[in-house]
């Protein structure tokens, strides 16, 4: 038999979850630092039964040792006054002979997965709320029109305009929700096409024409080099710049400038790959940087009223984040109250031949 490259203790030390090693008599013979952290005490030399006494656990231990099979127990326990939902895995290992059979117990805290479930529930609640608000308003106006406004042409026109706006709002929300789910589905598939950044920015700028006319904003592009090529999904990259330019125009001042500057940058952790950084700067009111870490969360809006007023859904930056993840890029945000904001997109460039 070849010599083992490392001991079982060294192996469990590398695990990112609590792992406990017990002998046949259930005496704890070794633990990793995650286990010491979780139980908040050194455990070696104590009996495992001091930690777990649940009948399910005892049954798994017995069966795992006698049948030499991996067994799993799900338990709920309260530790430091917090209820935890744990999955325990019992893995019997024969060290040299059956006489030296030990049990490797690993512990997975399912409460962490629970918070993902909570996020999903919050998302569904948010979507329902966002859809219900315009729907309630639509019902209200339909009732009013049915009852008494048919003969008043001016009121009728006004109500129909409001109804049209509410329907638009629902439509935008559904469109962004579909976009988000599509982007999430293919987030792990690497894009395969070569895309030229100038084309993307040109198309995105042109798509802003109705908005730039409405707000009398000018989009000024600088630093663009026709050699900037990216491995990407063209439509998705256009969507990134559409969303960021739309925000800069809508949250910037009317009749102002939105500046889009491109430059070549080196990322510290990837010294041999060139990246392009595209800054989108507006001279609007900006915001307290305290909001920055949460801005790409779905439905997170600094000023809900303002977002609604400009036709926002609260999903634009979440979509941007997912698309950039897919492209191995990232978003950097900085803002100064009263001065404006800069949203920077950093993307890896294809190597030049």
Ligand X SMILES: Nc1ncnc2c1ncn2[C@@H]1O[C@H](COP(=O)(O)OP(=O)(O)O)[C@@H](O)[C@H]1O
Q: Which residues bind ligand X (CB under 6 A)?
A: 243, 247-248, 251, 282, 284, 287, 295, 301-303, 307, 312-317, 341
- From Mg ion, ligand X, none, which one binds at residue 278 (CB under 5 to 8 Å depending on kind)? none
Using the minimum distance from each CB to ligand X, give the nearer residue, 38 or 251.
251
The answer to whether 262 touches 278, Cβ cutoff 8 Å, is yes
Which tokens hold the place of 145?
């029109």
As a whole number of angstroms, the distance between CA 38 and CA 193 comes to 47
For every residue of 116-130, DSSP letters joined together read: HHHHHHHHHHHHHHH
For every residue of 201-238, DSSP letters joined together read: HHHHHHHTHHHHHHHT-EEEEES--TT-EEEE-HHHHH
Closest alpha carbon to 187 in 62, 88, 328: 328
Using the minimum distance from each CB to Mg ion, give the nearer residue, 113 or 182.
182
Report the nearest approach of Mg ion to the CB of residue 333 (Å): 13
The answer to whether 233 touches 193, Cβ cutoff 8 Å, is yes
Report the nearest approach of Mg ion to the CB of residue 168 (Å): 15
Using the minimum distance from each CB to Mg ion, give the nearer residue, 247 or 341.
247
Q: Which of 232, 316, 329, 340 binds Mg ion (CB under 5 A)?
A: 316
For every residue of 32-95, DSSP letters joined together read: -HHHHHHHTS--TTSBGGGT---HHHHHHHHHHHHHT--EEEEEEEEETTEEEEEEEEEEEEES
Q: Which of 32, 106, 236, 247 binds Mg ion (CB under 5 A)?
A: 247
Using the minimum distance from each CB to ligand X, give the nearer residue, 107 or 318.
318
- Binding segment for Mg ion (CB under 5 A), chosen from 9-17, 122-130, 261-269, 308-316, is 308-316
Total site size for Mg ion, rule CB under 5 A: 3
- From ligand X, Mg ion, none, which one binds at residue 303 (CB under 5 to 8 Å depending on kind)? ligand X
Query: Which residue is associated with the tokens 């006494």?
Result: 53
Using the minimum distance from each CB to ligand X, give the nearer residue, 79 or 339.
339
What SS3 state is found at 191?
Answer: coil
Binding pattern for the stretch 261-300 against Mg ion, x by CB under 5 A and - elsewhere: ----------------------------------------
Query: Which residue is associated with the tokens 């952290």?
Result: 37
What is the distance in angstroms between the CA of the first residue and the CA of the last residue of the chain?
51
Using the minimum distance from each CB to Mg ion, give the nearer residue, 32 or 247.
247
What SS3 state is found at 4?
Answer: coil
Query: Interface with Mg ion includes 340 (CB under 5 A)?
Result: no
Report the nearest approach of Mg ion to the CB of residue 188 (Å): 25
As a whole number of angstroms, the distance between CA 247 and CA 100 comes to 65
Query: Interface with Mg ion includes 314 (CB under 5 A)?
Result: no
- From ligand X, Mg ion, none, which one binds at residue 341 (CB under 5 to 8 Å depending on kind)? ligand X
As a whole number of angstroms, the distance between CA 52 and CA 39 comes to 11
Report the nearest approach of ligand X to the CB of residue 304 (Å): 7
Report the nearest approach of ligand X to the CB of residue 11 (Å): 44
- From ligand X, Mg ion, none, which one binds at residue 284 (CB under 5 to 8 Å depending on kind)? ligand X
Q: Which residues bind Mg ion (CB under 5 A)?
A: 247, 312, 316
């Amino acid at each position: 038999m070849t010599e083992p490259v490392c001991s079982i203790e060294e192996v469990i030390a590398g695990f990112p979850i609590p792992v406990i090693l017990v002998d046949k008599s259930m005496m704890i013979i070794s633990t990793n630092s995650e286990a010491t952290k979780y139980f908040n005490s050194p455990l070696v030399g104590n009996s495992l039964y001091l930690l777990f006494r649940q009948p399910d656990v005892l049954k798994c231990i017995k069966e795992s040792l006698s049948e030499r099979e991996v067994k799993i127990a799900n338990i709920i326990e309260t530790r430091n006054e917090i209820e935890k939902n744990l999955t325990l895995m019992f893995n019997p290992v024969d060290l040299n002979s059956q006489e030296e059979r030990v049990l490797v117990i690993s512990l997975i805290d399912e409460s962490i997965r629970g918070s993902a479930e909570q996020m999903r529930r919050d998302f569904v609640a948010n979507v329902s709320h966002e859809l219900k608000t315009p729907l309630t308003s639509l019902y209200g106006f339909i009732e009013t029109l049915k009852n008494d406004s048919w003969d008043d042409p001016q009121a009728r026109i006004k109500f129909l305009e409001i109804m049209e706006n509410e329907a638009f709002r629902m439509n935008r929300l559904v469109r962004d929700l579909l976009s988000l789910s599509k982007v999430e589905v293919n987030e792990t598939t690497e894009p395969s096409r070569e895309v030229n950044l100038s084309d993307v920015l040109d198309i995105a700028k042109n798509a802003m024409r109705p908005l730039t006319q409405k707000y009398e904003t000018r989009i000024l592009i600088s630093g663009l080099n026709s050699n900037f090529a990216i491995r990407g999904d063209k439509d998705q990259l256009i969507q990134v710049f559409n969303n960021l330019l739309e925000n800069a125009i809508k949250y910037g001042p009317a009749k102002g400038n939105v500046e889009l500057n491109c430059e070549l940058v080196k990322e510290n952790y990837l010294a041999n790959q060139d990246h392009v950084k595209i800054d989108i700067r507006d001279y609007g009111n900006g915001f307290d940087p305290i909001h920055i870490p949460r801005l790409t969360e779905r439905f997170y809006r600094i000023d809900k009223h303002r977002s609604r007023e400009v036709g926002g859904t609260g999903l634009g930056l979440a979509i941007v984040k997912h698309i950039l993840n897919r492209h191995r890029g990232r978003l950097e945000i900085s803002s100064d109250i009263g001065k404006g904001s800069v949203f920077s997109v950093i993307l890896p460039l294809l190597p030049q031949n």
